[in-house]
Amino acid sequence: MRTATPNIFPEIDYPDSDGNPMADNTEQYRWIVFIKENLEIMFADDPNVFIAGDLLWYPVRHTQKRVAPDVMVALGRPKGRRGSYKQWLEDDIAPQVVFEILSPSNKDRRGQDSLEDKLEFYQDYGVQEYYIYDPDDLILEGWQRLGDRLVQIPSMLNWISPLLGIRFDWARGQEVILSRPDGQRFLSTIELDRRLQQSEIQVWQEQQRTAQERRRAESHQQRAEQESLRANRLAERLRALGINPDDV
């Protein structure tokens, strides 16, 4: 693994944009957002898990060498806004997990930013898990760090990420299904909205049932009080006539 450059050179500029679009098409964009947002939901209660999509990562100071993973996860780093991920400002913690979503243009790219270059970059700068998904050809691949190298995972069938705990349910010819450690599968924003609406409807229905039961209980209590009042008045009348109500 390469080490950080000592702070002996004058500071340089670290652009927050490389001029490239986040995605080449709607399917690639859908998967980037889908994975990023579901990971955000999964780690919402952990303030020290930073997740980003298409954010430039500068691993070494005084050089503009960088890459923008489609999705990256930095465990042990606080949430918050960043223009880029400058590793020397992040306790020198590299993103441990990265995802790349392929499109017709980037999977055949040669030279800079090719898949080979990205694999080498992630290997050199400390990524622990690297996943590639091609939503067009339905190909899923993964790499896991062993020592100083990223080694391809032999089979992604029901693979569980050691660091994230997410499961990849995978069958060739079918879209990959991702699930959280609790078994809840990743959901699209539409599915989440529908579940929220259904949950709100169920809450409203439960509130209506509770209110109806309360009204019935109040009505029953009122009837019981009215019957008790009538009984007391009848007993008073009987006593006025010299009759003991207990003898009736």
Distance linking the first and last C-alpha atoms of the chain: 100
Element (H, E) at 141: strand 139-146
Question: Taking phi first (over 0 means left), then psi (-120 to 50 degrees means alpha), and beta for anything else, what does residue 19 get?
Answer: left
Query: pLDDT digit string (tens) for 146-160?
Result: 999 999 999 999 999
Query: pLDDT digit string (tens) for 197-224?
Result: 665 555 556 666 766 777 777 778 888 7
CA distance 132 to 31: 11
107 or 70: which carries more pLDDT confidence?
Answer: 70
Q: What percent of the chain has pLDDT over 70?
A: 83
Provide the whole-model pTM.
Answer: 0.74
Report the DSSP beta bridge partners of residue 185.
179
